[in-house]
Amino acid sequence: MRLDRSTAALGAGFSHVARRSGHGSAAWRTLPIVLLAACHRPVDAGGDPGRETGPCIEDQCLGGELVCLSDLCVDPNGAGESEGSASAADGADDGGGQPNSRDVDILFVIDNSGSMGRAQGLLSAGIFDFFDVLDGAGANWRVGFTTSDNGNPVCGNATSPEAGGLELSSCLKRQSQFIFNGNPPADATAEACVDHCSGTVDILPTSTEFDPVKSPRPWMESRDGQTNLATPWTAADAFGCLAPQGIAGCGFESPLESMHKAILRASSENESQYGFLRTTAMFVVIIVSDETDCSYADKSIFLSEAQGGETALWSDPKAPTPTSAVCWRAGVSCSGGPGTYDECHSENKGASGERGVPDEDAVLFPVSRYIDALQAIEDERKRLMPAQEVLVALIAGVPDGYETHGMAFYADDLDPVYASNFGIGPGCENAQDRARAIPPVREREVAEAFAIRDRRDIYSVCADGYSAALRRIAGGIVDQFEQ
């Protein structure tokens, strides 16, 4: 979450959604894909021309036909089925299929911007019941971590975008990432890391359905009650070291695009996380963030007029850099107001602020991009297990109790500085420590599109603790085992 416009250069920083049906429109599936070409950052983004300096820029990947992953361009249409996926699909029973397995692959997308120390600490403190519920049900789980940092022109070289890459190392080895040098500065080393981690975590070698050779993988896992964690680590204790991702990431968070690229990376045999997604497993995404999604398709909205950009969506078009308000204005529209709004929803907008533009002209990637990608995974699983569903859960800027009452809050903020920084008032606030978070409109629509039996797995990041939320999410996962 952006704290202040002056931190921009540092970069450290219930609307209705139709339930999807049938096959998504995404052409790619969770199968191996081919790395086709290298992308290069343009000269004005730093680095020498002709060198793979990464992360690349999406529109330089052969005119947008490929997807940008770190310093590589990837073909999202795939290159044919792997033996694992093909055999699983071909073995499906046309007369009704198989019951759901107890396999579950869980991707945590964790906001690593400057205001997230508190939330990362609460996530580690609340995880114990989560694993107790899964282990008590005999789940064969995998847990991977990536961040909301997918790069942004404003952040430039100030951060190292994970771009969907799974990160698995003890936070004690990454303590510099828990210091935010913006305005105001923050140090979350103790709150987010040291208070929850007692050492380094050794990962034991394991195999995957695509790779029989055992080697260390960039995820935690448990098979038949045996984890890939060296003695004496328990899953919950290891989580407290591995899950915290620091607060030095880009303040223009793009958790949806990070999720998308994590899926693509897991399908590419050239990536270390290849095979993270199993053909027999339920797929679960848990996004933890205190701001709205800013997954951009058009970088011009972050560049000044002198840089050839378009500033119509900025709070101050004459400022040298935009604030996070550009993310809200570029992808969200509200009805009612001004003051308090009746509802807010995602909308495709053009660089000059025009509303309802076609998907290909939207400055933020359309929400349908992410719904289609997840739907493709669900459709693939349903070929083998007809009752299998994808689950998307949020711990984000909604009021406490949203999971039961479904009442979001949208209002302009009376503080002109806050309004200028974020474009909307907070969707939740913690009275005790004044933690505030922006409503997650785009992320919320994706989560609601994959609600299982109409339950809401959307919880407040401003809550005093996350144990109840995580326990409920785990309960929803376990419920799927019996379908």
pLDDT (tens digit per residue) in 414-445: 999 999 999 999 999 998 888 999 999 999 99
Question: Which residues face 74 on adjacent strands?
Answer: 35, 67
Kindly report the pTM of this predicted structure: 0.84
Please report where in the chains the tokens 């990160």 appear, as a residue: 167
Question: Which residues face 286 on adjacent strands?
Answer: 108, 393
Q: What is the pLDDT of residue 78?
A: 42
Question: Nearest CA to 261 among 66, 451, 467, 36?
Answer: 66
Q: What is the pLDDT of residue 82?
A: 35
Q: What is the pLDDT of residue 370?
A: 98
Q: Which tokens in the block code for residue 230?
A: 């060296």
Q: Which tokens in the block code for residue 96?
A: 């009704």
Query: Cα angle vertex 473, ends 472, 477, to 5°?
Result: 115
Contacts of 35 (CB under 8 A, 6+ apart): 72, 73, 74, 268, 270
Secondary structure element (H or E) that encloses residue 442, with its range: helix 441-449
Q: Which tokens in the block code for residue 319?
A: 């400022």
Q: Domain residues of the chain, as ranges?
A: 5-19+102-481
d(CA 67, CA 253): 18
- For 95, phi and psi rounded to 5 degrees? -85, 10
Q: What is the pLDDT along the chain (483 residues), one digit of tens a residue?
A: 534 323 333 333 333 344 444 333 333 333 333 333 333 333 333 333 332 333 444 444 444 444 554 444 454 444 333 333 333 444 444 456 899 999 999 999 999 999 999 999 999 999 999 999 999 999 999 999 999 999 999 999 888 899 999 999 999 999 999 999 887 899 999 999 999 999 999 999 999 999 999 999 999 999 999 999 999 999 999 999 999 999 999 999 999 999 999 999 999 999 999 999 999 999 999 999 999 999 999 999 999 999 999 999 999 999 999 999 999 999 999 999 899 999 999 999 999 999 999 999 999 999 999 999 999 999 999 999 999 999 999 999 999 999 999 999 999 999 999 999 999 999 999 988 889 999 999 999 999 999 999 899 999 999 999 999 999 999 999 999 988
Question: Nearest CA to 158 among 252, 68, 254, 290?
Answer: 252
Q: What is the pLDDT of residue 96?
A: 67
Residue 472 in contact with residue 372, Cβ under 8 Å? no
Q: Across the chain, how many H-helices and E-strands are there?
A: 11, 16
Q: In angstroms, how far is the first alpha carbon of the chain from the final one?
A: 38
DSSP 43-61: GGGSS-TTS--SSPPGGGS
Q: What is the pLDDT of residue 44?
A: 35
Question: Nearest CA to 436 among 398, 393, 403?
Answer: 398
